[in-house]
């Protein structure tokens, strides 16, 4: 899965959990949770959906890499590349 497909998959997850989100408005380089209304429980559900949908289990110690959509995509691409 390339980065563009990953981005599309992530936006689909966000759209499912927070369907009010206008995903076209999300700026990839800015903190995600400043742009859309996701609380801590939503965020846990996003991570659970990533685990289920993409097969990547993100340990809590890596949460620091996930602040923006760009960094999240890059992180997942790196994890998937390692297998």
Partner 1 sequence: MSTHSSGDSPVKAPGLPADQVWAEAAQALGYAGAGAFNMAALVVDRHVAAGRGEHVAFRFIGESGERREITYRQLAAESDRFGNALKALGVAKGDSVFLLCGRRCELYVAVLGALKIGAVVAPLFPAFGPEPVRNRVAQAGGKVLVTTRSAYPRKAQPIRAELPTLQHVVLIDDLDAGPLAETLDWAALMAAASTAPALVPTTADDPALLHFTSGTTGTPKGALHVHGALLMHDATARRALDLRPGDVFWCTADPGWVTGMSYGILAPLSVGVTSLIDEAEFDALRWVSLLENEGVQVWYTAPTALRMLMKAGPGLFAGRRFPALRFIASVGEPLNAEAVIWGRQTFGLSIRDTWWQTETGGIMITNAAAEAPKPGAMGRPVPGVAAHVVRRVAGEPPEVIETPDTVGELALETGWPSMFRAYLGQPERYRQCFAGNLYLSGDLVRRDADGDYWFVGRSDDVIKSAGHLIGPFEVERVLMAHPGVAEAGVIGKPDPVAGETIKAFVMLKRDVAPSEALRAELLAHARKRLGPAVAPREIAFAETLPHTRSGKIMRRLLKARELGLPEGDNSALE
Instruction: State the greatest distance between any 2 C-alpha atoms of the chain, in Å, as a whole number.
Output: 34
> In the bound complex, what is the minimum distance in angstroms from residue 77's beta carbon to partner 1?
21
Give the footprint of partner 1 on residues 2-31 (CB under 8 A): 16, 18-20, 31
- Rounded to the nearest angstrom, the gap between the alpha carbon of residue 68 and the centroid of all alpha carbons in its chain is 8
Looking at 4, 25, 61, 81, which residue binds partner 1 (CB under 8 A)? 61
Between CA 63 and CA 76 the distance in angstroms is 12
Token duo for residue 69:
């959509």
Binding site for partner 1 (CB under 8 A): 16, 18-20, 31, 33-34, 37-45, 59-61, 63-64, 67
């Amino acid at each position: 899965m390339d980065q563009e497909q990953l981005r599309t998959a992530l936006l689909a997850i966000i759209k499912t959990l927070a369907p009010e989100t206008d995903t076209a408005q999300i700026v990839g380089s800015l903190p995600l949770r400043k742009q859309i209304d996701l609380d801590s429980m939503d965020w846990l559900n996003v991570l659970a959906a990533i685990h289920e949908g993409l097969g990547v289990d993100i340990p809590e110690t890596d949460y620091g890499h996930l602040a923006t959509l760009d960094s999240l995509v890059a992180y997942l691409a790196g994890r998937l590349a390692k297998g």
